[in-house]
Amino acid sequence: MNNTTHISSVQNTKVKQWASLLEKKHRERSGQFIIEGVHLVLEAVQAGIEIECIVYDTDKGIPAELKTDAPSATPCEWVSAPTPVLAKCTGTTTPPPVFAVVTKPAYSREALFNERALVVVLDGVSDPGNVGTIIRCADAAGADAVVLGNNCADVYNPKTVRSTMGSLFHLPVIEADLATLLPEGKRRGIRLTGTSLQAKGSCYDCDWAQATWLVMGNESKGLSPEVEQILDETVRIPMRGKAESLNVAMATTVLLYEALRQREF
């Protein structure tokens, strides 16, 4: 960690550049985003994600976990800065003790077309917390990838990133035009399965052992008509109580674990 500098002012050019990454347009232009907190920084280091710099609170010092676990050869700049700088760059009044500026990972789409691929495809899921939780669940259930269609929350939104709890670095998360991608999946032998409250078939009667893309729709509107008409089937999750429906992240979890059960147990 020899490459260490100190920045004291929120008006510093670098600080302004980092703070701009709170906005999607600047993330898209730069190809970078911010990760907050010791856990996410460690996950990025261990996953080999390209890190431009790690910024830590001057008063608190480098977190012990990073001193112990972050390789000394991590090729990035280490910056100490006062709390107001960390607050400006993370958009929080009580900022974490450390954040990092990292490069968006690039993934091949071939993982989507594996012989027994299990992929989650999101159609207009707009809440960052839901998108992040779904990525985390997909990681836990052993899915091959997550695809975000148009009108989904930005995967690099700070709230989305926090909600993934590091799973963002464990499996491919790919943005795509579903009108093009879904037909390609069908041509390559993938079964496209979605959810609908009007579906007659239960998710427990569905064969999840074959190559499947699980397509989940918007929190309030469900699947868009354009996407639903491309699907091979829709299923429902049986409910015995009085709840009208499940949260999209919760429903995705139920379905992914049914797929895992069929495939491995």
Mean pLDDT to the nearest integer, 88-112: 93
Residues 6+ away with beta carbon under 8 Å from 254: 203, 237, 246
Check if the beta carbon of residue 83 is closer than 8 Å to that of residue 110: no
Domain count, the chain: 2
Which of 103, 136, 164 is the last residue in one of the domains? 103
Task: List pLDDT tens digits, range 201-249.
Answer: 999 999 999 999 999 999 999 999 999 999 999 999 999 999 888 999 9
CATH number at residue 94: 3.30.1330.30
240 and 170 part of one domain:
yes
pLDDT value, residue 198: 87
Each as own residue / partner, the long-range contacts of residues 59-66 (CB below 8 Å, 24 or more positions apart, any chain) are 59/83, 60/97, 62/1, 62/98, 63/38, 63/97, 63/98, 65/38, 66/38, 66/41, 66/42, 66/98
pLDDT value, residue 4: 83
pLDDT value, residue 72: 56
User: Residue 71: is its pLDDT beyond 60?
Assistant: no
Task: Name the residue range of residue 193's domain.
Answer: 109-264
Task: List pLDDT tens digits, range 33-67.
Answer: 999 999 999 999 999 999 999 999 999 999 988 88
9 and 33 part of one domain:
yes
Mean pLDDT to the nearest integer, 181-195: 97
155 and 199 part of one domain:
yes
Which of 68, 103, 138 is the last residue in one of the domains? 103
CA distance linking residue 22 with residue 5, whole number of Å: 23
Which of 103, 130, 162 is the last residue in one of the domains? 103
